[in-house]
Amino acid sequence: MSTPPVSFNKAAINKQAIVSQLLPFSCVDGPGSRLVLFLQGCNYQCKNCHNPHTIGLCDGCGDCIATCPDKALTLIKANNKHQIHWDKDRCSQCDTCLAVCPQQANPKVTRYTVEEILAILHHQRHFINGITVSGGEASLQLPFIIELFKAIKASPQLSQLTCMLNTNGSLSLTGWHKLLPFLDGAMVDLKAWQRDTHRYITGRDNHAVFKSIELLAQQQKLYEVRLLHIPGITDFEQEIDALSCYLLRLGADTRVKLNAFHHHGVVDEALTWPSCTQTDIEALAASLTQRGLTNIVLPSIYL
Ligand code: SF4
Ligand code: SF4
């Protein structure tokens, strides 16, 4: 699909995202070396989340301010609303604020405009292959992503950079159709095969995830399907025939990235779940390969 003509306006270029982290270089978030933006906020409540404080959005309650030993947090008023302000130069990264937040939010966020991210990309463009927007669930800030990717595609200096999305697949088809003209590819997490298992792990069912995967495959923009294997919890082994059939229908060379569950950063019930070993992953990979899938990618590390 060709990129439609672009017109910029000040509102578009000033659109802001709430960013929990900006990684200048990553080689595990899509093809090649990439700048990665992790956006704050998620619509899933995954029990296995490795960064649970990226789920919520701050409501400006102010509860974390007094707990900060470095006085790095203050409350400010912006657009008639209370908003937390984080002074990163004072912060010692003790993470006390994350532990006390009742919203699973993160006061250590930075608001970036499209224009500011474009300036960073101009600076880095000779050292990276593209940008990946990740989360939390990135697609919750879709208007920002669309304006950013649109601006990259329209810039003669940046248009060689690929624009990728890392997603839980919950975006509606209407949302995808708005993004697709400016998107080069997406990495989609399929967190479980059966709807009930998916709901148990994430709090939501997986109907939209299948729709997203199918649309992206049809549009040749499905970079990879990601399966996080949690032995005895996820159902990929029990449902291996149905899962393989589904992936084969997308194409035998569909890139399937296997990830191994580990306990780093998880809380509560997920701490009682078993870690996934190299043997577990290799067994799942062998089952997929036996059923005809040819492009299985194994984890680079096991913890
Ligand atoms: S980060 Fe959490 S505790 Fe701090 S102001 Fe926001 S919602 Fe309240
Ligand atoms: S992580 Fe930073 S902002 Fe949070 S409590 Fe510690 S010093 Fe304060």
Distance from the alpha carbon of residue 76 to the mean position of ligand 1, in angstroms: 13
Instruction: Determine, yes or no, domain membership for 303.
Output: no
Distance from the alpha carbon of residue 75 to the mean position of ligand 1, in angstroms: 10
The pLDDT value recorded for residue 1 is: 42
Whether 182 and 68 share a structural domain: no
Q: What is the pLDDT of residues 171-185, one digit of tens each?
A: 999 999 999 999 999
Could you tell me the residue range of the domain that residue 90 belongs to?
A: 59-100
CB 244 within 8 A of CB 291: yes
66: domain CATH number is 3.30.70.20
Whether 173 and 208 share a structural domain: yes
The pLDDT value recorded for residue 53 is: 93
Q: Is the CB of 251 under 6 A from ligand 1?
A: no
The pLDDT value recorded for residue 303 is: 67
Distance from the alpha carbon of residue 64 to the mean position of ligand 1, in angstroms: 6
Whether 144 and 194 share a structural domain: yes
Instruction: Determine, yes or no, domain membership for 106.
Output: no
**pTM listed for this prediction:** 0.93
Residue bearing tokens 């409540």: 45
Whether 121 and 268 share a structural domain: yes
- φ/ψ of residue 163, rounded to 5: -115, 115
Residue 197 contacts by C-beta under 8 Å, 6 or more apart in sequence?
234, 235
Q: Is the CB of 96 under 6 A from ligand 2?
A: yes
- Taking CA atoms only, the protein residue closest to ligand 2 atom 5 is 68
Q: Is the CB of 57 under 6 A from ligand 1?
A: no
Whether 45 and 182 share a structural domain: yes
Q: Across the 303 residues of the chain, what is the mean pLDDT of every consecutive 10-residue run?
A: 51 90 96 97 94 93 96 91 93 95 94 97 97 97 98 97 98 98 98 98 97 98 97 96 98 96 87 93 98 95 71
Residue 259 contacts by C-beta under 8 Å, 6 or more apart in sequence?
226, 227, 228, 229, 299
Whether 208 and 244 share a structural domain: yes
238: domain CATH number is 3.20.20.70
Whether 238 and 254 share a structural domain: yes
Instruction: Determine, yes or no, domain membership for 253.
Output: yes
Instruction: Determine, yes or no, domain membership for 140.
Output: yes
Distance of CA 244 to the CA centre of its chain: 24
Whether 63 and 182 share a structural domain: no
Whether 148 and 213 share a structural domain: yes
Instruction: Determine, yes or no, domain membership for 241.
Output: yes
Instruction: Determine, yes or no, domain membership for 2.
Output: no
- Taking CA atoms only, the protein residue closest to ligand 1 atom 2 is 101
Distance from the alpha carbon of residue 98 to the mean position of ligand 1, in angstroms: 8
The pLDDT value recorded for residue 2 is: 43
Instruction: Determine, yes or no, domain membership for 302.
Output: no
**Ligand nearest the Cα atom of residue 76:** 1
Whether 95 and 124 share a structural domain: no
Output the CA–CA distances (angstroms, integers) from residue 133 to 69, 114, 194, 284, in the order listed. Answer: 32, 12, 27, 28
Q: Which atom of ligand 2 is nearest to the CA of 67?
A: 5
Euclidean distance between CA atoms 228 and 133, whole angstroms: 19
Whether 129 and 205 share a structural domain: yes
The pLDDT value recorded for residue 8 is: 57
Q: What is the pLDDT of residues 39-52, one digit of tens each?
A: 999 999 999 998 89
Instruction: Determine, yes or no, domain membership for 107.
Output: no
Q: Is the CB of 138 under 6 A from ligand 1?
A: no
Whether 84 and 167 share a structural domain: no
Query: What is the count of structural domains for the chain?
Result: 2
Q: Is the CB of 70 under 6 A from ligand 2?
A: yes
